[in-house]
Amino acid sequence: MSGVTSINLVENALLVSIQDDVTDTEIVELQETLSNRIAKENVKGVILDISSLEIVDTFVGRVIAQLAGISRLLAAETYVVGMRPAVAVTLVELGMYLPETRTALSLTHALSQLRRA
Amino acid sequence: MPQTATANILTILESDFSGVVEEWLGTQVKEGVKRSDLFSDSESRAQNQELLKAFGKGVRAGVVNEEFSLDDDAWEDLRAVLADVSKERVGRGVTPTEMATFVLALKAPLFKRLEAMPGVEGGKLIRDVLMVTRLVDAFAIYTNEIFIGERDQIIERQRQEMLELSTPVVELWDRVLTLPLIGTLDSARAQEVMENLLQTILERQAEVVIMDITGVGTVDTQVAQHLLRAAAAVRLMGAECIISGISPMIAQTMVQLGIDVGTVSTRSSIRTALSDALQKVGYVIKTSEAS
């Protein structure tokens, strides 16, 4: 796993920060590492922090959707947090509404939702 | 005797300038386009004098071999005076027809004087009349163009003002925003509304957004699509969106059009939407003990 993307355990969820300069290879690697960690640590949720992501394309959108699908199968909810307005507009324009992910404003917001769930 | 095409016209303008101005005014009265209700006599006279002077200057310098173009430098004075006069007239509510007729009324006094000129008859008279007609017509067309440009500017300015005015995002409560939409929702406005809304969500860390469409007259497939896209973007940001103010009429239309709102919550009034929103962020509304 390269240094640009980190996975940390916060309460009973895995916090994944995706950096702006993430490459396509790294994000595919992330899928594999993350699915292993979810299964091993038996977490309730996965929090994808994309607040530093300024540009998205269909590929990144699809990977996020796939990450959510994988977590769901492993019994963890995915929360996408900190999406920038421009990124949200772009994803909607690309027709990627990410229906299988949950969203939250911030890490705190996501954790409080996870606790309630 | 060699003569340029505009010599006779120039002679008339030089020898009988005030006579032409007076008669021009007279024709305007006759044609019913002199707006005595909007302009005083002295104002109209001053405008006509200025216009005619600039016109004369253009005719002297701007016509070469019977050819001319009002875009040339020689016509600069006329263009400037026209722009001023048109601006003033648009402001006071003069119609385009009145404006064009006002300029075209200049033909009559010029024709009359050409006819009375010694030695101007037959083919020569016709040539001169043709020249005057071309000049005055170009003058009138240019006037109309300025007039329309003036109006376009007003429309554009108002449109811009409306765009800025019409997208306020209001903080109703801690973490609850509302966006009262009024009027028509076209693509440009929808885009502006969406960007404005998402930015405010980020700044205020709002969890619930109420989009109120009470003031939106009609909802067609396009408007609905704009609303649902905005709602989807709001959800992606991590907030929740409630669309309120859906009248029975709009509900029927939306179903007939086959619009599927998906998971977006909808409410008939902003009142119920507000109570739901407060509940979502953890507040309850209750009457005080005293009452």
**Do residues B185 and B151 lie in contact, with contact meaning Cβ atoms separated by under 8 Å?**
no
Contact B227, B266 (CB under 8 A): no
d(CA B258, CA A11): 44
Check if B237 contacts A (Cβ < 8 Å): yes
Q: Which residue of A has its CA nearest to B206?
A: A105
- Say if the Cβ atoms of A105 and B205 lie within 8 Å: yes
Alpha-carbon separation of residue B89 from B39, B152, B170 (angstroms)? 9, 14, 41
Spell out which residues of chain B touch residue A90, defining contact as CB-CB under 8 Å. none
Q: What's residue B227's pLDDT?
A: 92
- The whole-angstrom separation of Cα B160 and Cα B156 is 6
Domain boundaries, position B265 = 170-280
| pLDDT, tens only, B147-193 | 888 888 889 988 888 776 667 899 999 999 999 998 888 888 888 88
Q: From B163, B185, B214, give the residue that closes a domain.
A: B163
Q: What is the pLDDT of residues B190-199, one digit of tens each?
A: 888 899 999 9
Number of domains in chain B: 2
Q: What token pair was written down for B159?
A: 């449109």
Q: State the CATH number of the domain containing residue B141.
A: 1.10.490.70
Is position B1 within any domain?
A: no
Q: Using one digit for the tens of pLDDT, what is the confidence trace for A86-109? A: 999 999 999 888 888 999 999 999
Classify residue B289: in a domain, yes or no.
no
Regarding whether B179 and B129 lie in a shared domain, the answer is no
CB contact under 8 A, B236 and A91: yes
Q: Which residues of A touch B194 (CB under 8 A)?
A: 89
In CATH, the number for domain A6-116 is: 3.30.750.24
Mean pLDDT of chain A: 88
- Choose among B202, B229, B239: nearest Cβ to A92: B229
Residue B1 has pLDDT above 50, yes or no: no
Whole-complex ipTM: 0.84
**B20 and B122 inside one domain:** yes
Contact yes or no for A89 and B263 at CB 8 A: no
User: Chain A contact for B228, CB < 8 A?
Assistant: no
Per-residue pLDDT tens for A25-83? 888 888 889 999 998 998 999 999 999 888 888 888 888 899 899 999 998 999 999 99
Report the pLDDT value the prediction gives residue B209, as an integer from 0 to 100.
95
Q: Is A85 on the interface with B (CB under 8 A)?
A: yes
Q: Which residue has the tokens 């995915």?
A: A78
- Give the largest Cα separation in chain A, rounded: 37
One domain, residues B139 and B13: yes
Q: Which residues contact B156 (CB under 8 A, 6 or more apart)?
A: none
Q: How far is B244 from chain A (nearest CA, A)?
A: 21
Q: What is the CATH number of the domain that holds B191?
A: 3.30.750.24
Greatest extent of chain B over all pairs of C-alpha atoms, in Å: 109
pLDDT at A4: 57
CA B68 to CA B235: how far, in whole Å? Answer: 63
**Distance (Å, rounded) from C-alpha A79 to C-alpha B127?**
84
The answer, yes or no, to whether residue B19 has pLDDT greater than 90, is no
Q: Which one, of B194, A72, A117, A75, lies nearest residue A98 by Cα?
A: A72
- Report chain A's terminal Cα–Cα distance, integer Å: 31
Q: Is B189 in the same domain as B158? A: no
Q: Report residue A6 as tokens.
A: 């980190």
Nearest to B194 among A89, A97, A106 (CB): A89
Taking a C-beta distance cutoff of 8 angstroms, is the pair A56, A24 a contact? no
CA distance B236 to chain A (A): 6
CA distance B266 to chain A (A): 18
Same domain, residue pair B26 and B43: yes
Is B238–A81 a contact, with Cβ atoms under 8 angstroms apart?
yes
B199: chain A residues, CB-CB within 8 Å: 85
Contacts of B233 in chain A (CB under 8 A): 85, 88-89, 91-92
Whole-number Å distance between alpha carbons of B276 and B208: 9
Is there a contact between B47 and B99 (Cβ–Cβ < 8 Å)? no
Task: Note whether B238 contacts A106, CB cutoff 8 Å.
Answer: yes
Taking CA atoms, A65 is separated from A58, A68, B108, B206, B248, in Å, by 10, 5, 78, 24, 36
Query: What are the structure tokens assigned to B78, written together?
Result: 């006329």
Higher-scoring residue by pLDDT: B97, A111: A111
CB of A47 less than 8 A from some CB of B: no
In this predicted structure, the answer to whether residue A19 has a pLDDT above a threshold of 70 is: yes
B235 touches chain A (CB under 8 A): yes
- Looking at the structure, do residues B39 and B154 belong to the same domain, yes or no? yes
| Residues above pLDDT 70, as percent of chain B | 96
- Minimal Cα distance from B280: which residue of A? A113
Same domain, B44 and B140: yes
Task: Name the residue facing A98 among B199, B236, B239 (closest C-beta).
Answer: B236
Q: Which of B128, B163, B198 is the last residue of a domain?
A: B163
Which of A97, A101, A102, A112 best probes binding to B when mutated, by most B CB atoms within 10 angstroms?
A97
Task: For B190-238, write each residue's pLDDT tens digit.
Answer: 888 899 999 999 999 999 999 999 988 888 888 899 999 999 999 999 9
Query: Does A1 reach chain B within 8 Å, measured CB to CB?
Result: no
* Mean pLDDT across B102-124: 82
Other CB atoms within 10 Å distance of the CB of residue B274: 21
In chain B, which among 42-81 make CB contacts under 8 A with chain A?
none
Question: Do the Cβ atoms of A83 and B239 come within 8 Å?
Answer: no
Q: What integer best gives the mean pLDDT of chain B?
A: 85
Contacts of B201 in chain A (CB under 8 A): 85, 105
Q: What is the pLDDT of residue A1?
A: 42
Same domain for B117 and B195, yes or no, is no
- Give A97 to chain B, closest Cα distance, Å: 6
